[in-house]
Structure 1
Amino acid sequence: MARTLTVLKSPTPSSTAKSMIRLIQSLTLVSFLGPGNSVSEASSTPPVVNGVLRESVTLPSNFPVKENISSITWLHKGNSVIFIWPKEAKIQVTDPTRKDRLNIIESYSLQLNNLTMADAGHYRAQITTSTSFLYTDYNLQIFRRLSNLQVAYHTKLSENSTCEIQLTCSVENPNDNVSFRWEVAGNTFHSEANLSVAWNPKSLSEETYTCIAENPVSNLSSSVSDKSVCKGVINGKNEYLDIRWIIIVVVLTCIFFIALILIFVQRKKVAGFFQFSTQQTQCPGELPDSVPSH
């Protein structure tokens, strides 16, 4: 039957003194280990555990269950944070600043809740038995979850009528060990936050670029297409061309009508001239008939 561990969070002075005596006795047991006893070796590179700010993380104890355990202590940066007496089913939180955020769960693993940046660092689980002194090490890192991924772009029309695109990817917490990469069709295209590409308006193709931001505890992504971001600059060019053609058409139309008016006026003048000339040629022949006879 499983035994219930009692957590002692607010000990009396006398019980605190007893606890410290037991702690000292347990820690000094290693000095009295005789022949045949063993001490575990620390790993030169402790495994890294990633925690999320304001969330929880568990550090496994990795101790053999069948061992006759006298005491267990968890240390952070060399200082004891919690002490356990399995036989007495008691737990003493030795770091009062974290008394409400530390729990011992299955197999004496340490659970830290509501993580802060101060919780990062080296942790050691240390166990004392009648025949051995064992420990397990971890390096805890704390990260924020990434948020507010944004993709900004700047476009311009080059001399050869292609749309040049400058893409920039950013997050709200850029210092949380963030890496960026750009993917096209699921394949990594570029491994930086900034990306420069071009799109030809004459081409019928359209490419989608996906920015992925990630750190050890989270990732975000956002996509844009070259055709969509170039729409404004291409439409601006077309509007300029439309206005230019409208002006050309209006000017040509005005010239055409002015030419028609000039032709019409010129024809009127020619017609008037010929009519006047006809009248002049008829007048000398009519004069003798108009003179009275004597």
Structure 2
Amino acid sequence: MPRTLTALRSPAPFSTAKSMIWLFQFLTLVFCLGPGNTVSQTSSTPLIVNGVVGESVTLTLKSPMEEKIMSITWLHDGKSIIFIEPNEALNRVTDPKRKNRLKVTKSYSLQLSNLTMADTGPYSAQITTLTSSLFTSYDLRIFRRLRNLQVVPHTKWSKNRTCEIHLTCSVENPNDNILFRWQVSGNTLQSEANLTISWDPKSFDEETYTCVAENPVSNSSFSVSVQSLCKSVTNEKNEHLDTMWIVVAVPSICIVVVIIVSLFVCRKKIGFLSSYLLSLLQGSRDLAFGTSTRLCLVEDR
């Protein structure tokens, strides 16, 4: 009777295959941490960091002190920008566009200089030890410092003799997450750029309103005096009235002067004409008297 031989699988090849799979996964992780490759990040809550355009910012790294660090990879939007090997004292910038703007501190924190709006976004640092990989996430937000804060007033007098003022607060970069608020005597009236108020000149109160503009990296303020604004409108109104008076009065005076001169000239002409007529009458009378006299003399003869 023939014997059936059963082939037994040696445990050694199984162990070797398992080791190869583990080694392949490890090497894949190492290569993924290399320059220019995308690495998946953990879902930990990122640390929000604010930066200023043209200035520098530091992403602070807290490394595990209990384990020896093999490598650190800093990433932006999931792509490697600098690779660090502490044992080899090697810092290799993997993003050529930032070569002159990246610096690693002694604690392996990342410093970015001459910031631009393109630097905004998620950052992460992956610390690799012999036994684990640790992710630290950041959310870098970049803003411009506030400049040229201005308050534009629109002032007019109402029918009930109160001064109505509409104030508009503005800055040079209105889209940089700016918050506006209006304050008077240290108290906040409202949190917006526009403010409408009325002022009664009978109260004799001089109130100063302050516009405060702020974003996460800077703040600025501008104050206006209500009394000064209303006085300027009053002066403008008076100047307008003076101008209107001049516009109306000067032509009227000219017309009156012309009429007077015309009357005077006419009177002189009438007087001259009257004198002329009188002289004519006188001459006619004398002529008639002389003629009648001569006729009488002739008859007498």
TM-based fold match above 0.5:
yes
CA separation in 2, counterparts of 1:237 and 1:130?
83
1:214 and 2:236 matched: no
* Structure 1 SS opposite 2:30: helix
Q: Which residue of 2 aligns with 1:91?
A: 91
Q: How many equivalent residue pairs?
A: 212
Unaligned runs of 5+ in 1: 1-21, 30-39, 248-294
1:120 aligns with 2:120: yes
What is the distance in 1 between the residues matched to 2:27 and 2:183? 55
The residue type equivalent to 1:137 in the other structure is S
Q: Which amino acid aligns with 1:114?
A: N
In structure 2, the partner of 1:289 is: none
Structure 2 residue identity aligned to 1:26: V
Q: Distance in 2 between matches of 1:23 and 1:182?
A: 60
Determine if contact 1:65/1:107 at 8 Å carries over to the other structure.
no
Match of 2:255 in 1: none
Segments of 5+ residues of structure 2 without an aligned counterpart are: 1-25, 34-40, 250-301
CA RMSD of aligned residues (A): 2.4
Q: Cα deviation per residue 1:20-42 (whole Å; 9 max; x = unaligned)?
A: xx99663569xxxxxxxxxx954
- Find the aligned partners of 1:234 and 1:206 in 2 and give their Cα distance: 16
1:26 and 2:27 aligned: no
Matches within 5 A, 1:141-290: 141-236=141-236, 240=241
SS at match of 1:230: helix
* Matching residue of 1:80: 80
Q: In structure 2, the residue corresponding to 1:213 is in which secondary structure?
A: strand
Residue aligning to 1:103: 103
> Residues of 1 paired with 2:108 and 2:87: CA distance?
13
- 1:105-150 deviation per Cα after TM superposition (whole angstroms, max 9, x unaligned): 1311000000011111110100000121101000111111110001
SS at match of 2:202: coil
Which structure exhibits the higher relative contact order, with contacts defined as CA atoms closer than 8 Å and separated by 6 or more residues?
Answer: 1
Q: For the residues of structure 1 that align with 2:195 and 2:120, how far apart are their CA atoms?
A: 34
CA distance in 1, matches of 2:124, 2:177: 25
Partners of 2:63 and 2:42 lie apart in 1 by 14
Partner letter of residue 232 of structure 1? S
**Equivalent AA in structure 1 for residue 72 of structure 2:** I
CA distance in 1, matches of 2:212, 2:188: 10
| Misfit runs of 4+, over 3 Å | 22-25, 235-241
How far has the Cα of 1:235 moved from its partner? 3.2
- What secondary structure is seen at the aligned counterpart in 1 of 2:234? helix
User: Which structure features the higher share of helix residues?
Assistant: 2
CA–CA separation in structure 1 for the residues paired with 2:224 and 2:154: 12
TM-score by length of 1: 0.67
Give the equivalent residue in structure 2 for 1:132: 132
CA distance in 2, matches of 1:23, 1:165: 71
Question: C-alpha separation between the residues in 2 aligned to 1:224 and 1:128?
Answer: 58
Alignment partners' CA distance in 2, 1:65 and 1:107: 11
Give % identity.
Answer: 63
Shift of 1:236: 4.4
Structure 2 vs 1, CA of residues 221 and 28 (structure 1 numbering), >3 Å: closer, same or farther? closer
What CA distance in whole angstroms lies between the structure 2 residues aligned with 1:56 and 1:69? 27
Counterpart of 1:128 in 2: which secondary structure? strand
